[in-house]
Homo-oligomer: A and B are copies of this chain.
Amino acid sequence: MRIRVQEEAFDFGAEAQEFAARQSQSGAVVTFTGIVRDTDAGLQAMEIEHYPGMTQAQLTSFAKEAMQRFSLEDALVIHRHGRLVPGDMIMMVATAARHRKDAFEAAEYLMDYLKSRAPFWKREITTDGSADWVASKQEDETALSRW
């Protein structure tokens, strides 16, 4: 299980490959990657603030819970903070399990918790210079009730 919170970019392909290659018992590997996408208003950058002392511990606790709940062989979470531009990868999770159902559900579980329970806050800087904090979505809160 590996958890990384970092400002620098990560190499999604290399991380995904390495993760899949180091599993010995798992027939199923699922990855999720979040990418900064342009908005209708024109996005110049996305700034991600976080709570340094809490982030790593919180992500570790989600991953531990996922490992147990979905009988994972392994899990990986990488989440960036700082300034990102459209096309940049924000974060990724990867899960490895014997069966695909567990690998899929664990990845969705991690994403649902990352969205609403990990101490990150996104701000969108539009091309006209305005900066707006991204509002949390009710649907993200609702998604948690599934678990």
A interface residues with partner B (beta carbon < 8 Å)? 11-18, 20-21, 23-38, 87, 89, 98, 100-101, 103-104, 107-108, 111, 143
Contact = CB atoms under 8 A, between A and B. Distances in A.
A104 B100 contact: no
Kindly report how many copies of this chain are found in the complex they form together.
Answer: 2
B26 A35 contact: yes
A29 B20 contact: no
Contacts of A26: 35, 37
A12 B16 contact: yes
B12 A33 contact: no
A72 to B, nearest CB: 14
A24 B89 CA distance: 12
